[in-house]
Structure 1
Amino acid sequence: MDSSLGSIRLIFLGLLIIASIHPNFFCSGDYEVHCIKSEQHALLKFKQHLKDPLNRLASWASDGDCCQWAGVVCHNVTACLILLVVENFLTDDGQHEVQYEAYVQSMFGGKINPSLLDLKHLNYLDLSNNDFSGTPIPKFLGSIGSLRYLNLSNARFVGVIPHQLGNLSNLYYLDLQGYGLYANNLQWLSGLPSLQHLDMSHVNLRKASDWLQVTSKLMSLLEFRLSDCELRFIPSTPNGNFSFLVSLDLSGNFFENTFIPLWIFGLPNLVSFDLSDNGFQGPILDDLQNMTSLKHLYLSGNHFNHQIPIWLYSFSHLKFLDLHSNNLQGTISSAIENLTSAISIDFSYNELGGKVPRSLGNLCNLREIKLSSNKWSQEISEILESLSGCLSEKLEILELTDAQLLGHLTGELGMFKNLVKLTFVYNSISGPIPMSLGNLSSLRVLDLANNQFKGSLPQNFGQLSKLETLFIESNMLEGVVSEVHFSNLTRLIELFAFGNRLTLKVSHDWIPPFQIEELNLQSWNLGPKFPQWLCSQRNLRRLDISNTGVLDVVPLSFWDSSSQFEYLNLANNLFHGEIPYCPMILSTSSVIDLSSNHFNGPLPCISSNVIVLDLSNNSFSGSISHLLCFKVNEPKQLGFLNLEKNHLSGKIPNCWTKWKKLEFLNLGNNNFTGNIPASIRSLTLLKSLRLHNNKLSGKLQSSLKNCEKLENIDVAENEFFGSIPSWIGHKCSSLMILNLRSNNFHGHIPEELCALTSLQILDLSHNKLSGSMPTCVKNFSAMATKNISNHDMSFRFTSSYDEILPRESALLVIKGRIFEYSTIL
């Protein structure tokens, strides 16, 4: 539902409650009355139990006038406190990490003190958007009988909603939306006869089967929201009458109903109607055309896999129409020009085809067009031309992602000067990026990724002063990018530009005008010197400058700020030198990939929060004890650890007990000695164990029996001895690769191995085995039969970390030569 409707509602209800008794509410002049001492004392007690990390209630002092405190309004005649707002506000920019963190840090917390009961005339209480985590909604709020407005939304209260709220018989407005709350019934709502606005979105109402029976009897109800409440079923008939209802939102419940109950179409005054994400089937019912007051219609995320009904185009009063993700068929009719009031149209993620009708350009009030993931197969220039009429002056959002678009972007793009968001990702648009794009001075989001753009990046990109997000990855752009390209990009927060052939040339002491949060310049030419300007980026959370030709030492100032990273990829460069051992770096990172460089010295310290760590193919040396045994009693989150191809030595330490989430472990091609430690039995989720080409010895530990999810065991080129354990065939039933090559195993090949029906590679060569091959090897039904000399063998190991894992591989000896076969996990 659009934000303007919510803002209007909030302003209206606020004025409705207090304007008549406080006409100077919005004035900033001195009050003629001073607050009542008992109410001042009540507020100070309330403050004592609040957590206020940013001291937002600094004005609440014992020697002050509480009627002039922040968030407080008193009656201008009686001086009674009538309004209390202790809420938090997330701006439109809050989707970006830095702004969201600031929003979280400013949240109030703690407990709600019962001193609020001493505010005998309190009409309006707003505690929304705070963090009262772990605490239930106080029951005593139901005893503040003067309340007309109560907003506890997104305040992180938990537990059952107290039925005492049903005692607030004067309540006009009740907002309880947020996760963590539940109600087993809604009978308590019957005590709120004056209720006009009810929002319980995200509250778990799975057991509240009386939800419709109770709410349909609230005769004053105008706005009703139960989005994402796990409701199971919409009864075929309500027990009461929703005849005055203006707004209805039952989205995100995935009802067991196959079709929308007919009584809903009989609500004559509905202005806003949201049944999105419920899985309803069939065509969009013709009964909907009787709802002539509708201005907001949201039916996305259902299965209306028919054509858009022709009568829908006659809704000239409709302002917001959202039908995305429905498998709609056919075309968009030229009759769409009859939707003359339309502000936003979303037909994305359907099966629509044909051409975008030229008549769409006649909708002069349209601000948003979303047509992504359909089958337009149309020249992009033709679409822009059809939209270049009166619409071009007001359009703010144009989304045509994955729309099978062809051709070149033309100069007509520059006509859409009010565009805020433009996305053409995953198409086949080719040619240069036009200079006219630099005229889009309002642009905040530009996504041209995964196309076939060629040529250089226009220098006037640097004039897009409001640009926050720029995605141009996976194109064929080339040439030099200079400081001019970034000259006025003061708001840039995200830049993804990998998969091109671009070279960055800036002065050594360049300081960008932006503070970026996410940056991916993979495969750019940034070298040979380290890009010093990165050290000026205080908000950087995700950084990928892998394969960028840097041959340098990473400066200490970069490591000093590295604790802020959640994702860091410096792989495939020529970085050298040591990584500071202490203090701990990369303390918040989820993914660290420093592979294929020339780093040396001891391994760095990492935090227990790291999920993926790849330090392979470097020159690290010494023991790994400090890495594995650091804070030995603290549970580790690591799922992928690759230390292959270094100069590490010593014994593998026996401290794996807290590494229970590890799925992939590669210590191959080092100089480790000794046995496999017994505590490796704790790795019950382990899927790949690679210890090849070390100096390990002893027998294969029976502790590996616990690692029943193993799909890859590679201990080749070590000094293991004894017989091949028969338990491998029983305990490792998912094995795809078993490589015991070049050890000192002796005895017979156990027949139990034949139970490994998923096995694709079995290498037992260069051991001291005797006897004959078991006849049951025919059971290896998954054994690869491809012509492996063509290097086309691959493996897919399942993983919990598919989106972030580096590549895993298997080594195979063919005619004396070692080949590496890789898979993308």
Structure 2
Amino acid sequence: MGASFATHHVLFLVWFLPAAFSLSFFFFKAESISNVSCNEKDNQALVTLKRGLTDHGHVLSSWSDHKDCCIWDGVICDKKIGRVFELHLNYSGLGGEISGSLLQLEHLNYLDLSGNDFNSWEPFKPSLSVFWHNSDLYVDNLRWMSGLSAIQHLDLSDADLHREVDWLQIMSKFPSLSDLYLSYCQLDSLNPSLGFVNFTSLGFLDLAENHFNHEIPNWFSNLSTSLIELDLYNNSLKGNIPPSIFNLEKLELLDLGLYSLNGPIPSSVGNLSRMRLLYLEQNQLNGTIPESLGLLSKLEMLYVGENSLTGTVDEGHFRKLSKLKNLYMSEARISGKAPMWFWNWTSNITFINLSNNHIECNVSDIFLSSTVKVLDIANNSFYGPISTFLCQKKIRKNELEVLDASNNLLSGELSHCWKYWQSLIHLNLGSNNLVGRIPYSMGALVNLQALRLQNNSVYGDIPSSLKKCSNMRLIDMGDNHLSIIPLWIGEMTNLTVLRLRSSEFKGYIPQQICQLSSLRVLDLANNSLSGSIPNCLKNISAMTLPNSNVISFMYLNIYAENVRLVPKGNEMEYQENLKLVRLIDLSSNNLSGSIPAEISNLSKLRFLNLSRNHLMGKIPEKIGSMKELESVDLSRNHLSGKIPPSMSNLTFLSLLDLSYNNLSGTIPSSTQLQSFDALRYIGNPQLCGDPLPKSCTIEEQSLNKSPIGSVEDDSKNSSFYIGMGVGFAIGFWAICGALFFNRTWRHAYFRFADEIKDWIYVTTMIKMNHWKS
């Protein structure tokens, strides 16, 4: 919220950091000039400039001595005199140093060098030192700008200017300066002690995302004759809003969002007769909303949510706001019943956010014009059967894209009127009193990307018609009374979040769930699922590849998803950080069999919970290859064997629970594994070692020999038996073969055998006669 809508006109001097994301490259091409060619002085200046630059992308390949510089890429000339007056080299991947030859372009009035990676700026040395550090541009001082007396447009956004304490005095000395953009510049003072600042021509001032931590200075009121847009979004400004700031009679945009401002909204806000965009959200403003706000007849966007405002809002607040398109009053502590006139008044509105208030309203009274795209009434006291809202004839031609009516008092069965709502992209009816089956007609919502029916009393099957919603990215049907996970779920190939926890699901986890290659959140916890864990989970590439399938549903217009998950044993709400979550939660079911070894391939998984099942066998030996794991809960199963030594590689673990299994041997040594409480290992009688109080005997320690050692021992034993067999065979055939082929040896052998036999017989008979006597 609160993004500036300032129009960025032509820039005289632009420095931007190289974009962290890819931007389309755009080169201006000069129009052909029939009679006048490029001035020789300008031509040589540009050739000299090119020599100092590194051009790995060959974007300056057209810059040649043998061509007219007015037809070079990025160069625009005055048609009448052939002099260069605009230079567009933005986001062209250039580096190196900028030559002082730029000063020879005497007619240059537009220079855009944003999005490149220059080492230094030659024309202003030595008074300016520019160097790169951690991809940030630092500027020691701005005194070099004193010679730019005719400058009109200046954008130094993202440059670190915190070393220049006199930036305000320097900027105010330019009589022609009309546009000044200094967002993200790490500035820390607006010099509130100054009584006057001489910005005589300034129309657009963007100081968003800096570090101002004082009151709003009074010198802003001196700009009443010129200032059109003032953006101070997301600083640390505090204190009251000075009434004088609302005397800026030409102001069309004012952004004071995301501060620590307190006190009431001054009634002088009604003086801003030209105001189109007003952002006061996410402060600590209190008191009632002044009725004078309703005098802003040109207002298009109003954001006053997330404050500590009180009282009711009546027709007087909106009587002249005929051009309002976006109304954001979330968390404004508005109470009372929404009157009929309010819904009739919304004929031009496209965005309505009344969430998190204390508003009462029968949903049958809601009237939506065809202009409304977003309706967020979550966390209020809207009541009545949901069908009376969805099926009323007067809103059948709606073009609503986002409907969030969660956490209200809606009742009844889901209607069969979904064919009238085919523009819906996001639908959230969670945490109401809805009953009955999910109707087959919901398959008409072919544009749907997010379906939220959680925490109701919906029962039965999930209808197969929903597979027509092929754009679906989020399904949340948790906390209901459903039956089985359908096999067709594998056809929802764009699905990113599947939350079906606590919904009484039975049967098996279908193998088809492995076809959901985009899945980042799989939450099937607290059901009655049985059978084994599918061994094909490794096919879910979003959990194996870095940065795969960034969640595209995160922002539908200006609507952000929020999902409640249990990543580390406690329920948490994820919104903007949902895109960072990779989770599998199958806990509290009746799953059996072993943990598939293939699960170790999910190298980007962060949260794994398989606790409270009937799993047997060993913990996968290669679990240590899942190095991004932050939480592992395998407790209350029947797992046996030793804890894999590789688990010591999980350096990001902040939660580990292996309690109440049949694990044995020594707990592997690592800084991480010994940092957990003994309760995380309790209930494994044969387990020993720190942090358990039970010390390991020599035999128990031997159970924890490395797999490599075991392989070596087995190899030695195998070699012994193989060698003995080979030796026996060689010895047998060495003797028998010789007897078979040599008759003399054969006769001698049998004669010798006969003699031995006679000797044994005689000796035995003598011994027996001796025993008898």
Q: Residue 490 of structure 2 corresponds to which residue in structure 1? A: 535
Residue equivalent to 1:601: 594
User: Which of 582, 590, 595 in structure 1 is aligned with 2:582?
Assistant: 590
Residues 374 and 402, structure 2, Cα contact 8 Å, conserved in 1:
yes
1:266 aligns with 2:223: yes
- Residue 651 of structure 2 is matched in structure 1 by 660
Task: Show the counterpart of 1:213.
Answer: 169
Between the aligned partners of 2:275 and 2:299, the Cα distance in structure 1 is 6
C-alpha contact (below 8 Å) 1:576/1:600 kept by paired residues: yes
Select which of 674, 685, 690 maps to 2:680. 690
1:348-388 CA-partner distances (Å, limit 9, x unpaired): 122222211202342211112222212222113x2xx2324
The answer on whether the counterparts of 1:625 and 1:652 sit within 8 Å (CA) in structure 2 is no
Q: 1:551 to 1:185 in 2, by over 3 A?
A: same
Check conservation: 1:516, 1:537, Cα contact below 8 A: yes
Is contact 1:572-1:595 (8 Å) kept? yes
Question: CA 1:677–1:536 in 2, change beyond 3 Å: closer, same or farther?
Answer: same
> Is 1:295 equivalent to 2:288 in the alignment?
no
The reply on whether 1:547 has 2:492 as its aligned counterpart is no
Distance 1:484 1:114 in 2: 55
More helix by share: 2
Q: Deviations over 1:223-265 (max 9, x none)?
A: 2122232211123449974211111122232314334242554
1:618 and 2:613 are equivalent in the alignment:
yes
Give secondary structure in 2 for the equivalent of 1:429. Answer: strand
Match of residue 357, structure 1, among 301, 314, 325: 314
Structure 1 residues 355 and 227: alpha-carbon distance in aligned structure 2, compared to 1, 3 A threshold: same
Q: Which residue of 1 aligns with 2:478?
A: 522
Q: How far is 1:4 from its partner?
A: 9.7
1:577 deviation in Å? 2.9
CA deviation string 1:390-434 (max 9, x = no partner): x422011111111111242233x2343211111112222222231
Q: Which residue of 2 aligns with 1:425?
A: 378
Partner of 1:396: 350
Paired residues of 2:470 and 2:494 also in contact (CA < 8 A): no
Partner of 1:76: 32
Distance 2:494 2:478 in 1: 19
Question: Which residue matches 1:20?
Answer: none
Show the counterpart of 1:414: 367
Contact 2:384 2:409 in 1 (8 A): yes
CA distance in 2, matches of 1:230, 1:52: 22
**1:671: Cα distance to partner?**
1.8
SS at 1:318 equivalent: coil
**Whole-angstrom CA distance in 1 between matches of 2:325 and 2:135:** 32
**Number of residue pairs the alignment of both structures matches:** 602
Structure 2 residues without counterparts, runs of 5 or longer? 14-18, 39-54, 76-85, 126-131, 546-580, 699-773
Q: What TM-score does the superposition give when structure 1 sets the normalisation length? A: 0.65
Structure 1 pair 504/361, CA: closer, same or farther in 2 (3 Å)?
farther
Please state how far the C-alpha of 1:192 moved relative to its aligned partner: 4.7
Higher relative CO (Cα under 8 Å, sequence separation at least 6) belongs to 2
Contact 1:217 1:239 in 2 (8 A): no
1:469 partner letter: H
Q: CA deviation at 1:569?
A: 0.7
From 652, 671, 676, the equivalent of 1:681 is: 671
Three-state SS of the structure 2 residue aligned to 1:600 is: coil
- 1:184 Cα deviation after fit: 3.1
On the 8 A contact 1:243/1:267 being kept in 2, the answer is no
Tell me by how many angstroms 1:521 deviates.
1.3
Where does residue 512 of structure 2 map in the other structure?
557
Question: Is residue 116 of structure 2 the alignment partner of residue 125 of structure 1?
Answer: no
Q: Is the CA contact (8 Å cut-off) linking 1:621 and 1:649 kept in structure 2?
A: yes
> 1:642: Cα distance to partner?
0.7
C-alpha change, 1:225 and 1:653, in structure 2 (3 Å) is same
Partner of 1:479: 436
Contact 1:697–1:719 (CA under 8 A) maintained in structure 2: no
Q: Secondary structure at the match of 1:605?
A: helix
Q: 1:205 to 1:677 in 2, by over 3 A?
A: same
Q: Which amino acid aligns with 2:654?
A: E
Compare CA radii of gyration and give the structure with the larger one.
2
Asked if the contact 1:581/1:602 (under 8 Å) is kept, the reply is no
Letter in 2 for 1:556: Q
* Contact 1:364 1:394 (8 Å CA) reproduced: yes
For the structure 1 residues 189 and 409, does the alpha-carbon distance in structure 2 shift closer, same or farther, using more than 3 Å as the test?
farther
Measured in 2, the distance between the counterparts of 1:517 and 1:605 equals 25
Check conservation: 1:676, 1:696, Cα contact below 8 A: no
**In the alignment, which residue of structure 2 is the partner of 1:501?**
457
Look up the match of 2:43.
none
Are the aligned partners of 1:265 and 1:288 in contact in 2 as well (CA < 8 Å)?
no
Q: Which residue of 2 aligns with 1:282?
A: 239
Q: SS of the residue aligned with 1:414?
A: coil
Of 296-305 and 444-453, the range deviating more from structure 2? 296-305
Matches within 5 A, 1:23-62: none
Contact 1:217–1:240 (CA under 8 A) maintained in structure 2: no
* CA 1:292–1:51: 2 relative to 1, 3 Å: closer
Q: 1:186 aligns with which of 139, 142, 154?
A: 142
SS of the aligned residue for 2:245 comes to helix
Q: 2:456 matched to 1:466?
A: no
The corresponding residue for 1:737 is: none
Deviation at 1:271, TM superposition (A): 0.6
* 2:725 aligned residue: none
Residues 94-153 of structure 1: CA deviation (Å, up to 9, x unaligned): xxxxxxxxxxxxxxxx9555836927441353645x9x7xxx965348866767555566
2:302 aligns to what SS in structure 1? strand
Report the CA distance between 1:599 and its aligned residue. 4.5
Question: 1:783 aligns to what?
Answer: none
Q: Deviations over 1:291-332 (max 9, x none)?
A: 211111122233442222222213222111222233323222
Match of 1:43 in 2: none
Q: After superposition, give the CA deviation of every residue in 1:44-93 in whole Å (9 maximum; x if it has no partner).
A: xxxxxx99999x99xxxxxxxxxxxx855342336999xxxxxxxxxxxx
Match of 1:254 among 211, 222, 243: 211
Superposed CA deviations along residues 534-589 of structure 1, whole A, max 9, x for unmatched, are 22222222221123333333343321334x22221122231423422685643256
Whether 1:370 and 2:328 are equivalent positions in the alignment is yes
Q: Please name the residue that 1:328 is paired with.
A: 285
Task: Note closer, same or farther for the CA distance 1:238–1:315 as it changes in structure 2 (3 Å cut).
Answer: closer
* CA drift at 1:616: 1.4
> CA distance change for structure 1 residues 333 and 683 in 2, over 3 Å: closer, same or farther?
same
Alpha-carbon distance change, 440 to 502 in structure 1, aligned in 2, over 3 angstroms: farther
Quick check: 1:456 aligned with 2:419? no
Following the alignment from structure 1 to structure 2, what is the Cα–Cα distance between the partners of residues 469 and 5?
A: 26
What SS is found at the alignment partner of 1:519?
strand
Alignment of 1:777-792 (within 5 A): none
Q: Percent identity?
A: 25
Tell me the alpha carbon deviations over residues 617-659 of structure 1, each in whole angstroms, 9 at most, x when there is no partner: 233332224342437xxxx221211111233221112234421
Amino acid at match of 1:216: S
Cα 1:251–1:9 change in 2 (3 A) is: closer
SS of 1:592 mapped into structure 2: strand
Q: Tell me if structure 2 keeps the 8 A contact 1:665–1:689.
A: no
Distance 1:623 1:272, change over 3 A: same
Paired residues for 1:733-812 under 5 Å: none
Check if 1:490 corresponds to 2:443.
no
Query: Cα gap change, 1:721/1:450 in structure 2, threshold over 3 Å: closer, same or farther?
Result: farther
Instruction: Give the 3 Å change call, closer, same or farther, for CA 283–257 of structure 1 in structure 2.
Output: closer
| Residue-by-residue CA offset, 1:193-221 (whole Å, 9 max, x unaligned) | 55433333343332232422332233332
Q: Aligned match of 1:567 in 516, 521, 530?
A: 521
